[in-house]
């Protein structure tokens, strides 16, 4: 199954600016992308990077420097997904995604959607040629409406792993708790560890490293 | 399948004190409990409230005023779960839980665990007589260790709905986005609505109501 993985190497993870330098954010985003591509391949997806500029990666690439929504919709229009040729859209920062969780996108439905925490849309499987995305605001609700508008059936994937896009400091704790790939290793090497002094577990960073 | 639902009516939802008054927190916690009990019953669980004091509810009750960990462990010791008589422990603030998501606790495994965001343990199915809980700190990791220590097999339930205990302001957005029961109605009646002006969708509360 084809899977588009949008990636913007020029402006990675700005909401982690309070804990990571620009160079670190690039390194961390690269590690997350490696995990996502690896999990997709293990689950027999064929990933294509939908990237704002060419990157050095052993992966098929489509370069499109437009904003996310426009670039994804151009790719969907180009590929015309149908029930026999679904197209997935999987975010590059789903560092907790496993082959098993991603395989749940194969569930039946014209549009299979894995909501992200905070109303986002972290992964989609599209089997309807007329469905289009809109990633602004509460995109999960917008995508339910968009599917209804074109008569597409919708299935929700209820997954904590797919709901956890790694955007903010609190998300790093999820990665330390549940991750086992390159991104988790990157965090550990950078000195991050769990901090269980508060209600929910957070992260702290050691001074060295 | 038996399901214990721990509930502390005397000190509900203190981490929502910045957005809800004490009386409101009690009303909101009651609504969430109604949703959890309803979803459990629809999914053919037999819920028992494990409550710190008697409450007026049409549900079986075990009153135990000790802290959560001690009370749950006393109930597990009393019931001696085994593969034919599993005992579930389901938190009372899982207002997004659906019969379908709760049914995933029926998966095979001596200990089936649904992690909560931030390292907590939001739901368990226990089929091993010697497994004991410890809800302090990163209880998810502690429960993995505790299962290993008694030779119990572990299965993880990867569910955003079960991972979302409603503890903090940001969790209210999840309930407005994905809920459809009494707790969501309570929030809407109290004037809460989605606020999509930030990166992730949050909530705001109108002045009236």
What is the pLDDT tens value at each position of chain B, 209 positions in all?
999 999 999 878 999 999 999 999 999 999 999 999 999 999 999 999 999 999 999 999 999 999 999 999 999 999 999 999 999 999 999 999 999 999 999 999 999 999 999 999 999 999 999 999 999 888 999 999 999 999 999 999 999 999 999 999 999 999 999 999 999 999 999 999 999 876 678 889 886 44
Segment holding A148, helix H or strand E: helix A139-149
Of A97-101, A204-208, B48-52, the poorest mean pLDDT is in: A204-208
| pLDDT score at B196 | 83
Contact A141 B177 (CB under 8 A): yes
Contact B199 A118 (CB under 8 A): yes
Distance from CA of B107 to the nearest CA of A (A): 15
What backbone phi and psi angles, to 5 degrees, belong to A177? -75, -45
DSSP B114-130: EEPTTS-EEEEEE--TT
| pLDDT score at A208 | 45
Contact B159 A159 (CB under 8 A): yes
> Is residue A180 in a domain?
no
Using DSSP's 3-state secondary structure scheme, residue A32 falls into helix
- Average pLDDT on A99-104 reads 98
Q: Are A198 and B167 in contact (CB under 8 A)?
A: no
* Structural domain for A127, as ranges: 2-163
Distance from CA of B21 to the nearest CA of A (A): 20
Q: Could you tell me the two tokens for B103?
A: 């049914």
| pLDDT score at A209 | 40
> Is residue B110 in a domain?
yes
> Is residue A55 in a domain?
yes
**CA separation, residue A41 to residues A91, A178, B59, B157, B192 (Å):** 15, 20, 48, 23, 42
Contact B118 A170 (CB under 8 A): yes
Q: Are B119 and A164 in contact (CB under 8 A)?
A: no
Distance from CA of B92 to the nearest CA of A (A): 17
Q: Tell me, yes or no, if B173 comes closer than 8 A to chain A by beta carbon.
A: yes
Q: Which of A167, A170, A199 sits opposite B167 (nearest CB)?
A: A199
- Chain A with chain B: Cβ pairs closer than 8 A: 88
The CATH number that applies at residue B129 is 3.90.550.10
Of A185, A203, A201, A184, the residue nearest A193 (C-alpha): A203
Distance from CA of B33 to the nearest CA of A (A): 21
What backbone phi and psi angles, to 5 degrees, belong to A30? -60, -40
> Is residue A159 in a domain?
yes
Cα distance between residue A164 and residue A171, in whole Å = 7
Burial class (CB in 10 A: 0-12, 13-18, 19+), A74: middle
Distance from CA of A102 to the nearest CA of B (A): 12
Of B65, B48, B59, the residue nearest B9 (C-alpha): B65
Q: How far is CA A14 from the centre of its chain?
A: 15
State pLDDT tens for residues A171-198: 999 999 999 999 999 999 999 999 987 6
Using DSSP's 3-state secondary structure scheme, residue A205 falls into strand
CB contacts, 8 Å: A142 with chain B: none
Distance from CA of A169 to the nearest CA of B (A): 11
CB contacts, 8 Å: B196 with chain A: 119, 137-138
Is a pLDDT exceeding 70 seen at residue A112? yes
> Is residue A86 in a domain?
yes
| Cβ density class B128-148: b for 16+ within 10 Å, e for less | bbbbbbebeebbbbbbbebbe
Higher pLDDT, A58 or A199: A58
Is a pLDDT exceeding 80 seen at residue A199? no
| pLDDT score at B208 | 45
State pLDDT tens for residues A11-65: 789 999 999 999 999 999 999 999 999 999 999 999 999 999 999 999 999 999 9
Contact A15 B199 (CB under 8 A): yes
Cα distance between residue A62 and residue A33, in whole Å = 15
CB contacts, 8 Å: B173 with chain A: 118-119
- Average pLDDT on A159-178 reads 96
| pLDDT score at B143 | 98
Which neighbouring-strand residues pair with B155?
B112
Chain A residue with Cα closest to B199 = A137
Number of structural domains, chain A? 1
> Is residue B58 in a domain?
yes
Mutate which of B96, B98, B118, B144 to test chain A, going by most A C-beta atoms within 10 A? B118
Q: Could you tell me the two tokens for B75?
A: 């109930």
Q: Tell me, yes or no, if A178 comes closer than 8 A to chain B by beta carbon.
A: yes
Is a pLDDT exceeding 90 seen at residue A75? yes
Q: Are A175 and A184 in contact (CB under 8 A)?
A: yes
Q: To which residue do tokens 């008589």 refer?
A: B85
Which neighbouring-strand residues pair with B191?
none
| pLDDT score at B198 | 63
Q: Tell me, yes or no, if B93 comes closer than 8 A to chain A by beta carbon.
A: no
> Is residue A198 in a domain?
no
Cα distance between residue A89 and residue A82, in whole Å = 14
> Is residue A176 in a domain?
no
């Amino acid at each position: 199954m084809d899977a588009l993985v949008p990636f913007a190497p020029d402006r990675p993870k700005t909401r982690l600016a309070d804990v990571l330098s620009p160079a670190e954010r690039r390194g961390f985003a690269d590690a997350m992308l490696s995990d996502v591509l690896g999990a997709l391949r293990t689950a027999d997806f064929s990933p294509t990077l939908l990237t704002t500029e060419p990157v050095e990666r052993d992966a098929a690439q489509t370069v499109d420097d437009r904003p996310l929504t426009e670039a994804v919709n151009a790719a969907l229009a180009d590929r015309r997904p149908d029930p026999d040729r679904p197209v997935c859209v999987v975010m590059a920062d789903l560092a907790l995604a496993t082959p098993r969780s991603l395989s749940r996108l194969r569930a039946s439905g014209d549009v299979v959607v894995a909501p992200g925490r905070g109303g986002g849309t972290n992964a989609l499987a599209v089997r309807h040629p007329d469905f289009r995305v809109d990633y602004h605001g509460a995109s999960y609700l917008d995508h339910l409406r968009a599917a209804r508008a074109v008569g597409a059936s919708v299935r929700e994937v209820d997954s904590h792993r797919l709901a956890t896009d790694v955007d903010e400091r609190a998300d790093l704790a999820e990665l330390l708790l549940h991750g086992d790939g390159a991104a988790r290793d990157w965090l550990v090497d950078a000195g991050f560890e769990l901090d269980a002094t508060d209600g929910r577990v957070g992260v702290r960073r050691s001074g060295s490293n």
